């Protein structure tokens, strides 16, 4: 069963797109990540032009994070105040990112920079998370306390000024690192076409020491707005948002996300983190291999209309 | 305007053919073949289930020589050329262990798709020089680099890479048996529009060769257009981009919200 994508200008098998959307939606609901770091490479692998994949992936992320965020909102696991502060940084970062995106595209090195960023970020984040969660699981096995927040153990982040009390998260924290984190992830959103949850979640846990249960909902909350902003910017500058492709992905994605959230609730925090770490590492390794092994064809052709 | 330019091109092709005819004048004074082609529709509509299309082109050779025809010395080539755009070929090299695009070359206005059908392998129809002059066939297509290319020593490798990639991806095709004579002077040719066909004006061209010498050509435009919803979406995306973006986001909001409402009941 094929469907024609008016913006990507090609026919695709609707079942494959539905499958991709459902699988990515499930994982995004489970881990509280937007799924952009999975959907964008998957679409490109399925011959969707990269610029369309990046913009349309962001649109799908909006739907799946809304669906996930509403579920978290009902459970009371979103810190709106913290999310709003993150969002301020995120929108500023996304604006800078759009500018950076077009600069790299002109230089013809956008795909290399994207791959390198993915490998470095996914590798670091995945490795650190895996290490930490395995240590936590070992402790749990020995019946020791597994609190992530060790009272009295503060890092440099907690010495910064402009402190604000975030009631829901039960933390008293400076807004500077929160805005800074939002800003950095905003840049990544426009350059890499990801929501940034896979970096946001661990950074909030390990750097800002925010409780894991609030982290997932709050990151989804801010991803909604940053990716919605990215979609509008991409649509008005590059005309690359394929609404048909996005809609098919969304339908499958939101359904998958609902089941993902349920499975995620059943797993323990450290198990969830270990699984997310493995997933992040797997994507990172896959991309690293692509950079290192000799390509099937050292030449590639891009037409003026599409491509990096 | 485009139609006018095309007519001019056809006239030009006839003009090119004239000297070749002149050379043969003393043998056969009244031998001036004419080529006519027709397609059932000058418009192909892309619908939501578009999977590529086969296009049959009918044609007739007028004023042919019975003897030459019987000996199979007339050959016909039919091409379907997609809209033209610049295309960049990039080459990767290993730098500090990773593969990086290090050099590139942009070819000026090359067809996005190209399907060729002929009575037999085009290399045996006319000498490569003649095919090269006329730019018929993937191997003879004009690939003019844009901008500065240095000493041009790597021109050949980039051209070959371009042809190879376009052929393996299926947008450039050739069928050396796709043109068949159905009667003495009537022929039919089939060319293919790939599934990822570019929109715009495509051109069907037919070339007639007699004994390896180009005699006549004919060209017809073929518009490939999106219809209905597809057309509406494309127009909206380009003419009302901000509104389109907002609608895309709204659609995502409604979908996400709707799903969580439906699943709440369970």
> B230 to chain A: which residues are within 8 Å by CB?
4, 6
- Does residue B122 surpass a pLDDT of 60? yes
Shortest CB distance from A303 goes to which of B91, B112, B249? Answer: B112
Yes or no: say if B215 and B21 are a contact pair by the CB < 8 Å rule: yes
Shortest CB distance from B249 goes to which of A228, A295, A305? Answer: A228
Contact B245 A233 (CB under 8 A): yes
Q: How much is the ipTM here?
A: 0.80
Per-residue model confidence as pLDDT tens digits over B76-107: 999 999 998 888 888 888 888 888 888 888 88
Yes or no: say if A56 and A246 are a contact pair by the CB < 8 Å rule: yes
Chain A residue closest in CA terms to B224: A9
- Structure tokens, A125: 């984040």
Question: What is the phi/psi pair of residue B214, to 5°?
Answer: -70, 130
Strands (E), A146-200: 163-166, 171-174
- Does residue B75 surpass a pLDDT of 50? yes
Neighbouring CB atoms inside 10 A of B229's CB total: 13
Q: Distance, in angstroms, between B251 CA and closest chain A CA?
A: 8
Contact B92 A298 (CB under 8 A): yes
How many CA atoms are closer than 13 Å to the CA of B224, on its beta-carbon side?
27
**Alpha carbons B1 and B94: distance in angstroms, whole number:** 48
Per-residue model confidence as pLDDT tens digits over A135-167: 888 887 777 655 554 444 556 666 676 777 777
- Tell me the count of A-B CB pairs closer than 8 A: 186
Local confidence band at A308 (pLDDT 50, 70, 90 cut-offs): very low
Quick one: average pLDDT of B153-179? 89
Can you give the residue ranges of every domain in chain B? 2-226, 227-266
Chain A residue closest in CA terms to B45: A4
> A257 to chain B: which residues are within 8 Å by CB?
259
Local confidence band at A243 (pLDDT 50, 70, 90 cut-offs): very high
What b/e sequence results for A201-235 when a residue is b if at least 16 CB atoms lie within 10 Å of its CB, and e otherwise? bbbbbeebbbbbebbbbbbbbbbbbbbbbbbbbbb
Q: What's the Cα-to-Cα distance from A247 to each of A44, A56, A130, A241, rounded to whole Å?
A: 17, 9, 34, 11
Q: Distance, in angstroms, between A59 CA and closest chain B CA?
A: 7
Local confidence band at B256 (pLDDT 50, 70, 90 cut-offs): confident
> B196 to chain A: which residues are within 8 Å by CB?
9-11, 47
What pLDDT does residue A147 have? 52
CATH number 2.60.40.2550 given to B2-226 = yes
Contact B255 A250 (CB under 8 A): yes
**Alpha carbons B87 and B106: distance in angstroms, whole number:** 5
What pLDDT does residue A151 have? 44
- Does residue B7 surpass a pLDDT of 60? no
- Does residue A245 surpass a pLDDT of 90? yes
Per-residue model confidence as pLDDT tens digits over B12-21: 444 444 444 4
Q: Does A102 touch chain B (CB under 8 A)?
A: no
| Number of H-type helices and E-type strands within chain A | 10, 5
Percent of chain B whose predicted confidence (pLDDT) is above 90: 19
**Alpha carbons A57 and A59: distance in angstroms, whole number:** 5
- Test mutation, B171, B200, B249, chain A, max A CBs within 10 A: B249
Per-residue model confidence as pLDDT tens digits over B194-240: 877 778 899 999 999 888 888 888 999 999 888 878 888 888 888 88
- Does residue A69 surpass a pLDDT of 80? yes
- Does residue B112 surpass a pLDDT of 60? yes
What pLDDT does residue B14 have? 44
**Alpha carbons A67 and B19: distance in angstroms, whole number:** 72
Contact B89 A299 (CB under 8 A): yes
Secondary-structure percent of chain A, ordered helix, strand, coil, rounded to 5: 70, 5, 20
Q: Distance, in angstroms, between B2 CA and closest chain A CA?
A: 21
């Amino acid at each position: 069963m094929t469907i024609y994508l008016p913006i990507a200008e090609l026919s695709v098998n609707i079942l494959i797109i539905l499958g991709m959307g459902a699988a990515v939606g499930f994982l995004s609901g489970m881990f509280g990540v937007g799924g952009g770091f999975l959907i964008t490479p998957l679409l490109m692998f399925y011959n969707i032009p990269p610029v369309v994949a990046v913009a349309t992936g962001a649109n799908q992320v909006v739907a799946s994070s809304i669906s996930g965020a509403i579920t978290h909102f009902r459970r009371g696991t979103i810190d709106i105040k913290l999310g709003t502060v993150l969002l301020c940084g995120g929108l500023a970062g996304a604006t800078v990112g759009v500018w950076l995106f077009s600069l790299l595209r002109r230089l013809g090195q956008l795909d290399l920079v994207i791959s390198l960023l993915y490998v470095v970020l996914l590798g670091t984040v995945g490795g650190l998370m895996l290490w930490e969660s395995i240590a936590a699981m070992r402790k749990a096995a020995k019946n020791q306390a597994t609190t992530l927040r060790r009272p009295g153990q503060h890092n440099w982040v907690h010495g910064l000024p402009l402190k604000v009390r975030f009631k829901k998260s039960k933390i008293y924290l400076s807004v500077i690192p929160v805005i800074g984190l939002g800003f950095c992830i905003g840049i990544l959103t426009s350059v890499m076409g990801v929501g940034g949850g896979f970096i946001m979640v661990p950074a909030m846990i390990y750097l800002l020491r925010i409780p894991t249960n609030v982290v997932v909902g709050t990151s989804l909350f801010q991803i909604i707005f940053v990716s919605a902003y990215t979609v509008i910017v991409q649509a008005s500058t590059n005309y690359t948002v394929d609404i048909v492709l996005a809609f098919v992905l969304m339908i499958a994605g939101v359904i998958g996300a609902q089941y993902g959230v349920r499975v995620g609730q059943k797993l323990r925090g450290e198990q969830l983190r270990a699984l997310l770490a493995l997933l992040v590492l797997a994507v990172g390794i896959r991309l690293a291999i692509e950079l290192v092994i000799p390509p099937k064809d050292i030449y590639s052709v891009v037409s003026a209309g599409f491509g990096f | 305007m485009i139609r006018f330019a095309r007519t001019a091109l056809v006239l030009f092709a006839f003009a090119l053919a004239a000297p070749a005819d002149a050379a043969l004048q003393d043998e056969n004074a009244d031998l001036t073949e004419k080529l006519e082609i027709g397609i059932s529709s000058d418009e192909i509509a892309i619908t939501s289930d578009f999977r590529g299309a086969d296009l049959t082109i009918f044609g007739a050779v007028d004023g042919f020589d019975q003897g030459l025809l019987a000996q199979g010395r007339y050959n016909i080539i039919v091409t379907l050329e997609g809209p033209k755009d610049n295309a960049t070929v990039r080459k990767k090299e290993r730098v500090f262990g990773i593969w990086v695009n290090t050099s590139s070359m942009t070819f000026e206005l090359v067809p996005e798709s190209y399907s060729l059908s002929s009575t037999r392998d085009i290399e045996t129809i006319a000498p490569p020089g003649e095919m090269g002059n006329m730019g018929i066939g993937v191997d003879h297509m004009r690939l003019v680099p844009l901008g500065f290319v240095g000493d041009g020593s790597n021109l050949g490798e980039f051209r070959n890479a371009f042809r190879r990639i376009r052929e393996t991806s299926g947008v450039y095709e050739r069928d050396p048996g796709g043109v068949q004579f159905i009667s003495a002077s009537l022929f039919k040719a089939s060319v293919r529009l790939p599934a990822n066909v570019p929109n715009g004006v495509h051109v069907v061209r037919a070339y007639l060769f007699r004994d390896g010498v180009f005699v006549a050509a004919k060209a017809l435009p073929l518009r490939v257009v999106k219809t209905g919803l597809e057309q509406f979406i494309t127009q909206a995306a380009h003419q009302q981009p901000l509104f389109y973006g907002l609608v895309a986001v709204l659609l995502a909001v409604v979908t996400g919200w709707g799903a969580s409402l439906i699943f709440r009941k369970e």
